[in-house]
Chains A and B, each alone.
Chain A
Amino acid sequence: MVSQSSSRRIAAVSTTLQVFAVAVVLLIPVIWMALSSLKRPGEVTRYPPTVIFDPTLANYAKLFAEVPFFEYGLNSLIVSVVSTLLGLALALPCAFAISWHSVSWPATIALITRMAPGTLFVLPWFVLFSNLGMTGGYWVLILTHTVITMPLALWVLLPYFDALPRSIFESAFVDGCRGVKCLVHIAIPLVLPGLMVAIILSFIASWNYFLFALVLGGIDTKTLIVASFNFVGEGATDWGRLMAAAVLICLPPLVLIFIMQRGLISGLSGGSVKG
């Protein structure tokens, strides 16, 4: 017989090992990307890849010298932040209502927009927004990205709303707190962990969404992800510079995740009900 404490230790060790294995698989490309961005042109494509080399920041310097990287970053930031906020502003009341009335079809309909590939939308949208004279502006990107972020946020938030006891809201109704007030004072604080997840996923989805930005964006509203695609040259690709751009593109979502991490701690609704 294995004693309880040693079986618990085995479980802990095996969990650690599994997490480690997954982390290695996930991190190797990232590490490889980060290392490549620090290599000189000849070094990047060497096979087998070198681990010990003389690092340089030349790729980054070239990147900032040759392309308006910050402007592209700002474009990405504007589109991602606004489409995330807009998506949340729509998804929050929507998730609340769907959960409260337990009718699921609006959520299913919202999901359909995510089932179809973006290429299906992009052509009619191009025609539509061209006629409206909106292509090339920020709003066309924000609106189309909200089509991505809203259903995402909605489906992330739904289980968080479903988990809240009805009586809390009924109590709020009796206390004279309804509608938007109820959303602000009761619902949002209670689904905060879900809100954090929704913000992170929406932001990343919008930040990295390529197709709409490529087709509907313009020179002035080019996003980072579209801009970095230009580094893939017709003949020779400047891998070092591409990797440097990739590293920089990864940073804002990473920063966001670190900021939001504290809010992810769940268990906020504990202690409301029962003894």
Chain B
Amino acid sequence: MANVAINSVVKRYGSHVILPNLSLDIEDGEFCVLVGPSGCGKSTLLRMIAGLESISDGTVSIDGHVVNDRLPSDRDIAMVFQDYALYPHMNVKNNLSFAMRMRGDPAAEIEKRVSYAAKVLQIEPLLERKPKALSGGQRQRVAMGRAIVREPKVFLFDEPLSNLDAKLRVEMRAEIKRLHQRLSATMIYVTHDQVEAMTLADKIVVLRAGHIEQLGTPAELYRYPATTFVASFIGSPAMNLIPARLAQAIVGLKAILPDGSQSALPVLARPGVKAEQAKAGTDVLVGLRPEDLELVAADAPDIWMTGWVDVVEPLGAEALVLVKTGPEQAQATIPLTVRSPNDCGFRPGERVGLRIDASKCALFDAGDGQAIGYA
């Protein structure tokens, strides 16, 4: 068990900068998920922690020791690769015990840990098989077993579930979470799947183009996204971002909505937001989660805004209704997603009213995408 401290780390390939300057602390026993779009540098960062990629500048410390110059095998980490990287010529048992055999651990200890890992992962009947004779999910388990057997200070996962089909992915996700609860080891997990991030993480780190866009608990990121990037990245379907213009300055905000109506928003300015960032006339984006919008008849009282139903997507327990809004139907181009009960009864093309839970809204600067405040 150990904490991981990443201090002003830089990664360059020649003149090409992948990570300009990144600092991050991961607590002992924490499940930290690095999430972000493809190419943002998640794998690079993880591989730098593992020692598979050189560190151009800055330091990586594990358990208080700077490990920049240590070999991967001397960092006391275990890594689960996206493609599992099992040794094809060894049976499952030898795959599991390989690291310990390389380390020269006593045979009895190896035997004990291999059978423990096999039991935890329910791969005991497979121990004599070669990887070729395993299904994708079984290979995934073996790859995790290989990490468990080592009892490392830190587990590193690089998109370990992305090669599995949807059902197996959900199962293995729970398996990994169970594993973390059982071992309470420090785990760093890379994914570009925000659902995995939300379900697994103690702490989510959202990376974008090599820098940390925001970090926090899943609930914090969901409720208080720091930028429109995080707002649209975390949560599925994404947060609605409705372009509006401030009619009145920050205290007791009032926004002019796309349909021309005005709305008071109970938004409190974020600490550090300057007055001129939220003065009347500023273009903003009103952020609302799909579940905080409600569809009602267009002539119902206290509606927030009106729009036209575009598509209804029933999901079984609920339905997603895509609504377009604007000053009039022909110019209704701004899309909104509303999470609604299955039997909402609205037809495509129908004019509808939207009610909101204003106590859940967020406000972003339309220019740089930074949050101005939250309700």
- Measuring CB to CB, which residues of chain A are less than 8 angstroms from any residue of chain B? 165, 167-168, 170-178, 181, 185-186, 189-190, 268-275
Contacts and interface: CB of A to CB of B under 8 A. Distances in A.
Interface of B: 50-52, 71-73, 77-79, 81-89, 98-99, 102-103, 130-137, 139-140, 146, 150, 163-165
A105 to B, nearest CB: 19
Nearest to A186: B87
Contacts of B146: 171, 175
Nearest to B47: A170
Contacts of A186: 87
A72 B51 CA distance: 55
Given A171-B81, A189-B89, A275 B52 contact: no
Given A174-B50, A175-B102, A271 B130 contact: yes
B137 A275 contact: yes
B85 A171 contact: yes
Nearest to A166: B85
Contacts of B79: 170-171, 174
A165 B71 CA distance: 20
Contacts of A189: 89
Q: Among A173, A174, A268, A275, find the residue whose CB has the most chain B CB atoms closer than 10 A.
A: A174
Contacts of B87: 168, 171-172, 186, 272
B250 to A, nearest CB: 51
A165 B72 contact: no
B135 A275 contact: yes
A181 B83 CA distance: 23
Contact of A175 (B83, B98, B135): B98
Contacts of A268: 88-89
Nearest to A177: B102
Nearest to A188: B89
B84 A273 contact: yes
B15 to A, nearest CB: 20
A168 B71 CA distance: 16
B203 to A, nearest CB: 24
Contacts of B85: 165, 167-168, 170-171, 272-273
Given A167-B85, A172-B87, 7 more contacts: A174-B79, A175-B98, A185-B98, A271-B88, A271-B133, A275-B135, A275-B165
